[in-house]
């Protein structure tokens, strides 16, 4: 088969993201309501801020916004994780980052599958936060063995999804008909099942060990547990959720409200209690319920350098020493105040963030720079000072472990908070994944460096043409 008859991985990813969104909208109608509210707030924000609109247009980021979302799944076994990696690769999604959530009382470690590189991200930045259950953190050995047994018997991928993934790997891509079938087959893995895989008794034992263990082990597959649209004003969406009969979690995770958004701010609405039936030993089905699926929104800001990230972590920790956000929202106002006070030392202008080396930026020539014959030996700072070069923040495309833990907790209920010994094990995770995860900092630094090289090349071409 000729290579040019293959559908691009970007198109497969876009089709998959759209199919997943349509499925989740019918499964969880509140998600549709949230999408509507986010669409409205984004449109209002753009109408009120023509500069923001122009900037998003200039940086080619307006179009991706309405299509943008991330989802999350929780897997049970190393084999599921490594197959999932192969499936996502067909859509141009690679594992980026390692998140250890054991420190936060959640027995999983995770990565995010997402497109890498500026062009792919602009086409469609769909991401899936993917966690692997860590049975090694469960104290009850007998239960651990039983959970392992149950998981070893399930197959979360359809035969078609496996066959098409192998075909894509062998051929180097999929043609249009295969790509369409691939999307439909893979979607099955993410579907909700209202018939559990386990007896009511087993469900309760798993649930007592940790609600998350019950969520992973009791079902035929890793149902998508949320899909998150991106908003331009998370404070506005949070404030208006009650008007839409959606009760948000008490506080927004991540940095405080700022003029120059950094990293990622997220909030969610509580998971729904949904009817599920369990098969008893005598074969009869018994009605019960399970709480897993929820809604979330996020606002994304500039990606931080290791130095910026260290400052972010230190300030977040400092704020939590003053006030720890209570799950019931009783100290939400105090928490918000402590958070914004703690973040005063973090510069709140793009120039300030850049000057202190806290964030990543892309550089480009200004209109003046395109016309001028600049001295290419000049430093980047003086080219900027001369008005020849401009810089724009690079959007943070990844996740934050403390925020993720807050989202997990708010959906699992307070009783789920449990102490685990902090035990990050990236090596084990990568062994199970069958690949190394990409380092997100290297990725942003690469985009920044490439833009600087481009600017310098254009300036020297202009000089040579003199
Ligand atoms: C994943 C929670 C993490 C985020 O946005 O940080 C997450 C989960 O609950 O499975 O999605
Ligand atoms: Ni999320």
pLDDT in tens, 283-327: 899 999 998 888 899 999 999 999 999 999 999 999 988 888 887
Q: Is the pLDDT of residue 1 over 60?
A: no
128 CB near ligand 1 (under 6 Å)? no
Half-sphere exposure of 54 (CA within 13 A, CB side): 4
CA distance 12 to 120: 12
410 CB near ligand 1 (under 6 Å)? no
Q: Is the pLDDT of residue 163 over 90?
A: yes
Does residue 324 sit within a domain?
Answer: no
Q: Outline where 218-305 has alpha helix (H).
A: 234-240
Decide: 172 and 3 in contact? Cβ < 8 Å: yes
Q: What number is the average pLDDT over the span 65-86?
A: 93
Instruction: Name which of 256-270, 336-350, 384-398, 452-466 the model is least confident about.
Output: 452-466
Place of tokens 């105090």: 334
Report the nearest atom of ligand 1 relative to the CA of 294: 9
| Cα separations in angstroms, 282 against 197, 200, 218, 278, 285 | 14, 12, 18, 11, 9
Q: Is the pLDDT of residue 105 over 90?
A: no
Q: Is the pLDDT of residue 416 over 70?
A: no
403 alpha carbon, closest ligand = 1
Report the percentage of the chain scoring pLDDT > 90: 67
| Residue 120 CB neighbours (<10 A) | 18
Q: Is the pLDDT of residue 4 over 70?
A: no
pTM of the full predicted structure? 0.93
Does residue 310 sit within a domain?
Answer: no
Q: Which residues are CB-contacts of 262 (< 8 A; sequence separation ≥ 6)?
A: 255, 301, 302, 304, 308, 312, 346, 353, 359, 396
Q: Give per-residue pLDDT as tens, 325-384.
A: 887 778 888 999 999 999 999 999 999 999 999 999 999 999 998 887 777 788 999 999
Report the nearest atom of ligand 1 relative to the CA of 129: 11
Q: What is the largest CA-CA distance in the chain?
A: 88
401 CA distance to ligand 1 middle (Å) = 9
pLDDT at 466 (0 to 100): 61
Residue of 403, 404, 405, 412 to test ligand 1 pocket, by largest number of atoms within 8 Å of CB: 404
Report the nearest atom of ligand 1 relative to the CA of 411: 9
| Cα separations in angstroms, 55 against 50, 62, 362, 391, 393 | 8, 9, 13, 12, 11
110 CB near ligand 1 (under 6 Å)? no
Burial (CB < 10 A; 0-12, 13-18, 19+), residue 105, is: middle
Q: Give per-residue pLDDT as tens, 190-207.
A: 999 999 999 999 999 999
Q: Which helix (H) or strand (E) holds 177?
A: helix 176-187
Q: Long-range contact list for 325-330, CB < 8 A, 24+ apart?
A: 325/250, 325/251, 325/406, 326/250, 327/250, 327/409, 327/410, 327/414, 328/250, 329/249, 329/250, 329/251
292 CB near ligand 1 (under 6 Å)? no
Instruction: Name which of 2-16, 42-56, 105-119, 398-412 the model is least confident about.
Output: 398-412
DSSP secondary structure code for residue 349 in this structure: S
- 415 falls in which pLDDT band (50, 70, 90)? low
74 CB near ligand 1 (under 6 Å)? yes
Q: What number is the average pLDDT over the span 41-47?
A: 91
Does residue 387 sit within a domain?
Answer: no
- 417 falls in which pLDDT band (50, 70, 90)? low
Instruction: Name which of 2-6, 16-20, 327-331, 429-433 the model is least confident about.
Output: 2-6
Q: Which residues are CB-contacts of 51 (< 8 A; sequence separation ≥ 6)?
A: none
409 CB near ligand 1 (under 6 Å)? no
Residue nearest to atom 2 of ligand 1 (CA): 404
Instruction: Name which of 102-106, 332-336, 460-464 the model is least confident about.
Output: 460-464
The mean pLDDT of the chain is 91
Q: Which helix (H) or strand (E) holds 265?
A: strand 264-269
Does residue 407 sit within a domain?
Answer: yes
pLDDT at 269 (0 to 100): 83
Residue of 84, 216, 408 to test ligand 1 pocket, by largest number of atoms within 8 Å of CB: 408
CATH code, domain with 64? 3.10.180.80
Does residue 382 sit within a domain?
Answer: no
Report the nearest atom of ligand 1 relative to the CA of 403: 6
**What is the edge-to-edge ordering of all strands in the sheet holding 94-100?**
94-100, 108-114, 127-133, 69-75, 226-229
The domain in which residue 15 lies consists of 3-302+397-435
Does residue 133 sit within a domain?
Answer: yes
Residue nearest to atom 4 of ligand 1 (CA): 404
141 CA distance to ligand 1 middle (Å) = 27
pLDDT at 413 (0 to 100): 62
- 61 falls in which pLDDT band (50, 70, 90)? confident
pLDDT at 294 (0 to 100): 87
Q: What number is the average pLDDT over the span 123-139?
A: 92
Q: Is the pLDDT of residue 167 over 80?
A: yes
Phi, psi dihedrals of residue 4, rounded to the nearest 5°: -75, 0
268 CB near ligand 1 (under 6 Å)? no
pLDDT at 419 (0 to 100): 63
In angstroms, how far is the first alpha carbon of the chain from the final one?
48
Instruction: Count up the domains in the chain and report the number.
Output: 1
Q: 332-342 and 306-322 are packed helices; what angle lies between their axes, rounded to 10 degrees? A: 140
Does residue 351 sit within a domain?
Answer: no
pLDDT at 324 (0 to 100): 85
Residue that wins the pLDDT comparison between 92 and 331 = 92
Phi, psi dihedrals of residue 434, rounded to the nearest 5°: 85, 20
Does residue 214 sit within a domain?
Answer: yes
């Amino acid at each position: 088969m000729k290579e040019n008859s293959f559908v691009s991985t970007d198109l497969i990813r876009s089709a998959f993201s759209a199919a997943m969104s349509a499925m989740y909208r019918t499964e969880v109608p509140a998600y549709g309501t949230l999408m509507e509210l986010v669409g409205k707030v984004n449109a209002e924000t753009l109408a009120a801020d023509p500069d923001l609109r122009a900037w998003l247009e200039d940086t080619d980021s307006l179009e991706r916004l309405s299509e943008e979302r991330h989802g999350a799944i929780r897997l049970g076994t190393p084999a599921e994780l490594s197959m999932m990696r192969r499936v996502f690769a067909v859509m141009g999604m690679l594992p980026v980052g390692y998140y250890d959530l054991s420190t936060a009382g959640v027995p999983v470690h995770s990565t995010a599958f997402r497109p890498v590189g500026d062009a792919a991200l602009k086409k469609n930045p769909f991401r899936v936060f993917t966690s692997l259950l860590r049975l090694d953190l469960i104290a009850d050995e007998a239960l651990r063995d039983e959970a392992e047994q149950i998981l070893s018997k399930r197959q979360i991928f359809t035969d078609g999804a496996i066959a098409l993934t192998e075909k894509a790997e062998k051929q180097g891509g999929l043609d249009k008909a295969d790509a369409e079938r691939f999307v439909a087959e893979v979607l099955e893995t993410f579907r909700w099942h209202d018939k559990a895989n386990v007896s009511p008794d087993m469900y309760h034992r798993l649930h007592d060990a940790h609600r998350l263990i019950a969520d992973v082990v009791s079902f035929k597959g890793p149902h998508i547990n949320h899909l998150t649209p991106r908003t331009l004003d998370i404070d506005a969406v949070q404030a208006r959720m009650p008007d839409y009969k959606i009760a948000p979690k008490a506080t927004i995770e991540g940095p405080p409200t700022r003029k120059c958004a950094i990293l990622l701010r997220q909030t969610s609405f509580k998971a729904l209690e949904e009817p599920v039936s369990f098969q008893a030993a005598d074969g009869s089905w018994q009605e019960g319920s399970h709480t897993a699926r929820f809604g979330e929104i996020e606002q994304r800001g500039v990606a931080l350098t290791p130095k910026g990230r260290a400052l972010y972590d230190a300030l977040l920790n400092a704020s939590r020493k003053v006030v720890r956000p209570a799950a019931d929202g009783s100290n939400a106002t105090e928490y918000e105040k402590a958070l914004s006070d703690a973040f005063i030392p973090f510069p709140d202008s793009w120039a300030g963030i850049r000057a202190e080396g806290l964030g990543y930026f892309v550089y480009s020539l200004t209109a003046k720079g395109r016309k001028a014959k600049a001295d290419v030996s000049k430093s980047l700072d003086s080219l900027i000072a001369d008005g020849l070069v401009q810089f724009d923040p690079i959007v943070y495309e990844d996740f934050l472990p403390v925020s993720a833990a807050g989202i997990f907790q708010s959906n699992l209920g307070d009783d789920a908070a449990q102490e685990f010994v902090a035990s990050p094990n990236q090596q084990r995770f990568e062994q199970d994944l069958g690949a190394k995860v990409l380092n997100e900092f290297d990725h942003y630094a690469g985009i920044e460096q490439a833009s600087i090289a481009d600017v310098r090349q254009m300036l020297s071409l202009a000089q040579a043409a003199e």
